[in-house]
C-alpha cells in the first residue's frame, strides 16, 4: 500500500478485466476468465466475468457443458434472475438448489460465501445500503448506514465489507453472530488501513481461506493484498516493476495446487515473482524479455500446470511459457486466448477462444 496512490478509476474502467469498474474488487468484478475446478476441469468465461461459463475437459479439450451467468466460487455457481436464485454444481452441470429473495426492491448479486452455499446481494435505496445473505433455507438482512459500502467476502460468521472513503477504501469485518461491525479496519501491521489504486485481478485459494487481490497504482507500482479470512488478517506484498501503468496491468496471478505459493508474472515488465503465502513475502524473483503490446491497459490470462513446473501467460496475441523450476521464459505466438488451461498430462495447453472454440497449443 505504500507505493500505491489513488487513481481515477473511471478513466480506465472500460479497459478493466470483465466488469471491474468500482473502487473495490468484488468477486463479480474481478473474476478470472479461467478457473481450475479440479477433477480435470476448467471453468472458462469467453464473454468475461458477467458472461456464462463453459466447462472444459482438460483431458480432451472438449466443452462438457455450459452454465448461465453468475458468481462462481469453487465449483458452485449462483445465478440471479430477478428475485430468483439458482445454484449449480460446475462439476456436473446440474442445478442443485433454488431460493426466492424476500425484498421490496430487486437486489443485485455481488458475491457468495467462500463455500458457495450462500449468495450475497445488495440493495441501495435512500442513501442506505442493505445486504442480503440468502441460502436455500432462509436469508439474513444487514442494514448499513450509508451508500459507501460494498461486499468483499463471506466466510463462516465473518462478513468482510468494503467501506469507500475519499481517496480509497478500507476492509472492515462484520460479525454475523453478534450483528456488530468491528470498529478497527483490517490492515497490514506495517501499512495504513487505506487501500488505493485500481483493483485489477483476484484469486481465491481452493480451501476458501485466502483472497489475493492485485492492485495497480497510476505510476505502475503493483502490490498483492493477501486477506486471510480464517484469522481476519491482511498483508500487502509489493511486486517488482514500476513506472508504466499499462505494463503493470499485464500481471497475472496463479496459486500453486498445494496453496503454498502464489506466482505473479508480468509480460509487460518482464518479471516473475513467487510469494510464500504463509509468510506473505516474495521468496523468488527473476526477469525475462518484456512484451511489446503495452500501448493500453491489458489484462492477462494464465494457467499453471498440475505439477506447478510450467506457468503460461497470454496478453493479446503473445504467449509466454515460464519454467518455475528452471527460471526460464520462452515466448510463443498464438491467436489470443480468453482462458488457458494445461491438459491433465501437461503435454498441451488449451486456449479458449471466442465462440467457445478450444485450441490445442504445444507446450514449449
> What is the mean pLDDT of the segment spanning 11-18?
31
CA gap 333, 30 in Å, rounded? 26
Rounded mean pLDDT of 240-245?
Answer: 93
SS3 letters across 121-188: EEEEECCEEEEEEEECCEEEEEEECCCCEEEEEEECCEEEEEEEECCEEEEEEEECCCCEECCCCECC
Residue matched to cell numbers 449462483: 78
Spell out the residues 6+ positions from residue 321 whose beta carbon is closer than 8 angstroms to its own: 310, 311, 312, 329, 330, 332, 349, 363, 364
pLDDT digits (tens, 9 = 90+) for 111-123: 999 999 999 999 9
Q: Specify whether the CB–CB gap between 19 and 33 falls below 8 A.
A: no
Contact call for residues 299 and 20 (beta carbons, < 8 A): no
**Sorting pLDDT into bands at 50, 70 and 90, what band is 168?**
confident
Minimum mean pLDDT among 147-161, 202-216, 328-342: which range? 328-342
State the average pLDDT for the chain.
87
Q: What sign results for the dihedral spanned by CA atoms 361, 288, 212, 304?
A: positive
Q: What band does 293 get if pLDDT is binned at 50, 70 and 90?
A: low
pLDDT of residue 19: 29
**Which tens digits make up the pLDDT trace of 301-335?**
999 999 999 999 998 888 999 999 999 999 987 77
d(C-alpha 347, C-alpha 362), whole Å: 7
**Do the Cβ atoms of 269 and 248 come closer than 8 Å?**
yes
The answer to whether 283 and 274 have CB atoms below 8 angstroms apart is yes
List, for residues 186-209, the tens digit of each pLDDT value. 888 888 888 778 889 999 998 999
C-alpha cell at 285: 524473483
Question: Which of 2, 1, 42, 34 lies closest to 17, judged by CA?
Answer: 34
Residue 22: predicted pLDDT: 37
User: How would residue 24 be classed by pLDDT, with cut points 50, 70 and 90?
Assistant: low
pLDDT attached to residue 176: 95
What pLDDT band is residue 295 in, cutting at 50, 70 and 90?
low
- Whether the pLDDT of residue 11 is over 80: the answer is no
| Boundaries of every domain in the chain | 9-362
The whole-number pLDDT of residue 166 equals 82
Grid look-up 486456449 returns 351
Predicted pLDDT of residue 51: 82
Confidence of residue 343 (pLDDT cuts 50, 70, 90): very high
Domain 9-362, what architecture? Answer: 7 Propeller (2.130)
Tell me the average pLDDT across 85-101.
Answer: 98
d(CA 13, CA 299): 12
Phi, psi of 313 (to 5 degrees): -135, 130
Question: pLDDT tens-digit profile of 30-46?
Answer: 767 889 999 999 999 87
- Strand, helix or coil at 332? strand
- Among 208, 195, 269, 285, smallest CA distance to 235 is for 195
Amino acid at each position: 500500500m505504500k507505493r500505491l496512490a489513488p487513481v481515477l478509476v473511471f478513466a480506465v474502467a472500460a479497459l478493466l478485466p470483465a466488469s471491474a469498474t468500482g473502487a473495490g474488487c468484488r468477486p463479480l468484478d474481478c473474476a478470472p476468465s479461467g478457473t481450475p475446478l479440479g477433477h480435470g476441469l476448467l471453468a472458462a468465461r469467453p464473454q468475461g466475468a458477467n458472461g456464462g461459463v463453459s466447462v472444459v475437459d482438460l483431458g480432451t479439450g472438449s466443452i462438457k457443458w455450459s452454465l448461465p451467468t453468475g458468481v462462481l466460487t469453487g465449483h458452485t455457481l449462483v445465478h440471479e434472475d430477478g428475485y430468483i436464485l439458482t445454484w449449480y454444481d460446475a462439476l456436473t452441470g446440474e442445478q442443485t438448489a433454488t431460493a426466492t429473495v424476500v425484498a421490496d426492491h430487486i437486489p443485485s448479486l455481488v458475491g457468495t460465501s467462500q463455500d458457495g452455499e450462500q449468495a450475497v446481494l445488495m440493495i441501495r435505496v435512500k442513501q442506505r445500503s442493505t445486504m442480503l445473505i440468502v441460502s436455500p433455507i432462509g436469508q439474513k438482512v444487514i442494514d448499513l448506514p450509508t451508500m459507501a459500502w460494498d461486499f468483499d467476502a463471506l466466510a463462516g460468521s465473518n462478513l468482510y465489507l468494503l467501506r469507500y472513503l475519499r481517496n480509497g477504501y478500507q476492509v472492515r469485518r462484520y460479525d454475523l453472530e453478534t450483528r456488530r461491525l468491528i470498529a478497527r479496519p483490517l490492515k497490514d501491521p506495517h501499512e495504513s488501513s487505506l487501500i488505493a489504486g485500481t483493483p485489477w485481478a483476484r484469486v481465491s485459494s481452493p480451501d476458501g481461506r485466502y483472497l489475493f487481490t492485485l492492485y495497480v497504482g497510476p505510476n505502475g507500482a503493483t502490490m498483492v493484498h493477501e486477506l486471510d479470512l480464517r484469522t481476519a488478517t491482511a498483508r500487502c506484498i509489493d511486486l517488482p516493476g514500476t513506472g508504466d501503468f499499462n505494463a503493470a496491468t499485464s500481471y497475472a496471478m496463479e496459486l500453486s495446487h498445494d496453496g503454498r505459493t502464489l506466482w505473479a508474472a508480468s509480460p509487460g515488465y518482464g518479471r516473475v515473482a513467487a510469494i510464500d503465502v504463509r509468510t506473505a513475502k516474495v521468496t523468488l524473483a527473476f526477469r525475462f524479455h518484456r512484451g511489446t503490446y503495452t500501448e493500453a491497459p491489458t489484462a492477462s490470462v494464465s494457467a499453471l500446470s498440475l505439477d506447478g513446473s510450467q506457468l503460461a501467460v497470454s496478453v493479446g496475441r503473445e504467449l509466454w511459457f515460464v519454467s518455475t523450476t528452471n527460471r526460464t521464459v520462452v515466448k510463443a505466438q498464438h491467436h489470443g486466448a480468453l482462458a488457458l488451461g494445461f491438459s491433465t498430462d501437461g503435454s498441451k495447453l488449451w486456449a479458449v477462444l471466442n465462440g467457445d472454440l478450444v485450441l490445442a497449443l504445444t507446450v514449449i
